A and B are shown apart, each in its own frame.
Chain A
Amino acid sequence: MPIASVPLSWYLILGAALFWVGLYGLLASRALIRTLMSIALMLNAVVLNLVAFARFVEPARTAGKTFALIVYAIAAAQAALGLALLIAVRRPHSTVAVEGTDVLNRAPRVVDEGKR
């Protein structure tokens, strides 16, 4: 098998493309859910960069992979925080009396009222 049949620059250009598609989404979309997705795309591109670099520049690859893991953790944290905020900001709209005591059952219905 020929070595380096896929050059590093291909990965990096793909990473750049994904990153700026994410940025486009961030700028163009005003809905929080889609904004969160765009940010996930951007961080995903960063991880692609890191993994590709790790393959090519670092023999042990520990720094690159650790860095990638950290970016993953940050991405997950941001998504979770965003969704918590989304729920917090939706709630003041809704004025619903909920029947039953099943707390977890309540969530979808409460928000249903928020769509007005």
Chain B
Amino acid sequence: MFEQIVFLVFAVFALVAAIKVVTTPRISHAVLWLMSCFFGVAVLYLLLDSPFMAGIQLLIYTGGVAVLIGVASVVLRGAAREAQRRVTHSWPASIVALSLFLLMAWMTLELPLPEAPQAANPEGSLALLGAALVDPAGYLLPFELIGVLLLVLLVGALYLGKER
């Protein structure tokens, strides 16, 4: 019961924040709402017994992505003002989004989902995850590939952002 209340509070919070992100006219407010939405979802991760994911969520999304977007909107004040002007409500878009949401909701209720969660997080699950990331029989290659992806990005972004 307690958990359900917590879930509902933060789910509604995250959802309202998400809707604000796409509707609020001022771009700086949109960034703040985005951070709030990420924060709300991070709380749900705690509820899902994944403090690690909650930490990562705050680290990467709130601390990384959202701050990055915020900095960019400070840097590009002109662009931010433009964005302000261009927020429009679009009926076709909302109809598409709503119908797809209803489809997904129907699908969620239709499919046989497990009723009970797995056992609570065992001690040392973090070590298990770490081991899986460097295990040749686990996810070593994807983990390494993340590094390659970020390298490409770094080099490319530097080139694009370079003054000439």
Contacts and interface: CB of A to CB of B under 8 A. Distances in A.
Contacts of B121: 61
A4 B140 CA distance: 33
Interface string B5-31: 001000100110011011000010011
Contacts of B153: 77, 80-81
A18 B80 contact: no
B3 interface: yes
Contacts of B146: 69-70, 73
Contacts of B80: 33
Q: Is the interface of B mostly helix, strand, loop or mixed?
A: helix
B30 A37 contact: yes
B109 A5 contact: no
A86 B160 CA distance: 9
Contacts of A9: 108-109, 113
A66 B129 contact: yes
A28 B31 CA distance: 17
B21 A25 contact: yes
A69 B56 contact: yes
Given A4-B117, A56-B113, A75 B65 contact: yes
A27 B87 CA distance: 11
B142 A66 contact: yes
Given A4-B116, A38-B22, A69-B56, A33 B27 contact: yes
Given A37-B34, A85-B160, A88-B160, 6 more contacts: A3-B116, A27-B96, A62-B128, A62-B129, A68-B56, A90-B79
